[in-house]
Chains A and B, each alone.
Chain A
């Protein structure tokens, strides 16, 4: 079997954590079987599990602590199981079983499947953490189909202690993919804007965190407000808008070095940047006269080219995943609606025709949906529609929501919800992140230390 080398993702992580963090993954042979587990994805006890099926009846899974070998490895095994449990629980597609119900000790090598059947588990994860000297550990995990008693997956990871959360996310992604048949989204991060201070004069800083809200880090000092950070496809750079020196412009920010650089040389305000899928260029808007036009610029600032020239406000451009089309927001027809055009700028076509106005379109990484903000009648909502404008459905509605961003598997959306001030001094106002399944269920608050908005969900790397 091949040795899965995740050195690329590790490179980024090492720079971020400023700690040498290498890990590798090795397949484990199934116990009592001569070959690695042949069980296909989406098979659990012979029954096919689909995401929609899992939604109506989440998969019961048992996640006992990974067995330690003394020292710090025991608590590490418990913490990793906790992270994996929380990930799967939060997805809404799994039902981790309360460890208080577990019968007998945490399994060593081959589980006693009767004990897990008895508590209703369909899937079981087992594992162990071993110290390899210094700060290196070996994490072994196996995923079992409880009813037939077969191993679905077995992998060992070799890594440094500081990388344990990341390994727990990668294991969560493996479980998600093996049991649901589509990629997970747990080994990802979110960039957002952290808001603090009085309502009338908010300080807005760039911030980054893991998708489960861990490892929150503030990236800008707040001297100038920062808005709308967006990930480069490799996750090591972001584009954002800064009010630096009272000249609002799009900048790029290198996550490893912290270096930021204004993008291009434009006379007007530049705003609403997004990288192209290949990371080589950025589309954004530049204000001019009474409107704003969409431009494409090299990711390091060269070669600006104007794509729209309507005299209206054209903002919030976003590429389709194959880079061939651009969806954007424009008031060229009198009010805000969503339009699509070719990536060269031609063939503009309106796609939003429901009630109210539409804004902030983002294309799903899977290509099948465009998420948007819709408003009218005194409320705002987050919804999705197909790229041809059909199949619109509203997922969440309230006083104010905006700015959806997709998880890399296109299954979950994160957005910002603001509450109304209840008095004339702004009391009661808040801005928080929320996540929801694109089927419209499993809406959950996303924990952040301060108010938060402008979220952008990173791609998966592994």
Chain B
């Protein structure tokens, strides 16, 4: 039998100390075409207002769905926004990086979306206002194949509907 083996496994050295990608200022990373200064010319309670003033996404470590302190802070801002605009309903989409298998990543993305939803519900937002979905690794925000792109793509993105 022709048995191929790996010569050696490099230790999995992930730069996971920071769960937030350094590059979150690009338009694609924030999900908005342009970031306008606080309040300036945005329809109150709109998706643009939400992105600019609450922040639409939180990030996760590899294969994880637990919320960091920073993520909880962002979700607090989202909860505050949703409390101010009770007519707004949202969808939370969970996403994964490309370094995983497709079926597992759909379940993992859902776990991330649920994690964010559960936090908002605990902050008093009615569960009925929040829909969740997972795109697995099929909706990457960052299109490269490097650690920075993978960090940006491990997220839960909230959008006003």
Contact = CB atoms under 8 A, between A and B. Distances in A.
Interface of A: 199-202, 204, 225, 227-228, 241, 246, 248, 268-269, 271-272, 285, 287, 289-292, 313, 315-316, 329, 331, 335-336, 355-356, 359-360, 373, 375-379, 381, 393-397, 399-400, 402-403, 418, 420-426, 429, 439-441, 453-454
A201 B93 CA distance: 14
Given A269-B110, A424-B142, A393 B4 contact: yes
Nearest to B136: A227
B101 A402 contact: yes
Contacts of A402: 101-102
Contacts of A399: 145
Contacts of B111: 287, 290-291, 313
A409 to B, nearest CB: 18
A269 B134 contact: yes
B98 A356 contact: no
Most buried by A among B2, B63, B115, B144: B144
Interface of B: 1-6, 8-12, 28, 63, 65, 98-104, 106-108, 110-111, 114-115, 133-134, 138-145, 149
B6 A377 contact: yes
A454 B102 contact: yes
Given A248-B133, A376-B9, A394-B4, A429 B145 contact: yes
Given A285-B107, A290-B115, A377 B10 contact: yes
A313 B140 contact: no
A200 B135 CA distance: 11
Contacts of A439: 1-2
A394 B101 CA distance: 17
Given A248-B106, A376-B9, A439-B1, 12 more contacts: A227-B102, A248-B133, A287-B134, A290-B65, A290-B114, A355-B9, A375-B99, A377-B10, A381-B6, A393-B3, A394-B5, A402-B102
A379 to B, nearest CB: 8
Contacts of A331: 63, 104
B12 A393 contact: no
B12 A423 contact: no
Given A287-B134, A394-B4, A359 B106 contact: no
A423 B144 contact: yes
Nearest to B28: A200
Instruction: Report the 5 A-B pairs with minimum CB-CB distance, sorted nearest first.
Output: A426-B143, A420-B145, A377-B9, A359-B101, A424-B144
Main secondary structure of the interface of B (DSSP, over half): loop
A290 B60 CA distance: 14
Contact of A359 (B4, B11, B104, B149): B104
A346 B127 CA distance: 34
B101 A403 contact: yes
A199 B143 contact: yes
A399 B149 CA distance: 15
Nearest to B101: A359
15 contacts: A199-B140, A225-B138, A248-B133, A287-B107, A290-B114, A291-B111, A313-B111, A316-B103, A331-B63, A378-B10, A381-B6, A395-B4, A397-B6, A424-B142, A454-B102
B107 A202 contact: no
Contacts of B5: 394
A248 B11 CA distance: 36
Most buried by B among A246, A269, A418, A429: A269
A397 B101 contact: no
A432 to B, nearest CB: 15
B108 A313 contact: yes
A356 B100 CA distance: 12
B58 to A, nearest CB: 16
Contacts of B133: 246, 248, 269
Contacts of A359: 100-101, 103-104
Contacts of A403: 101-102
A421 B103 CA distance: 21
Contacts of A453: 102
Contact of B107 (A225, A292, A393): A292
B138 A400 contact: no
Contacts of B141: 200
Contacts of B8: 377
B85 to A, nearest CB: 22
B64 to A, nearest CB: 11
A315 B107 contact: yes
A268 B65 CA distance: 17
A98 to B, nearest CB: 27
Contact of B143 (A241, A356, A421): A421
Contact of A378 (B12, B103, B149): B12
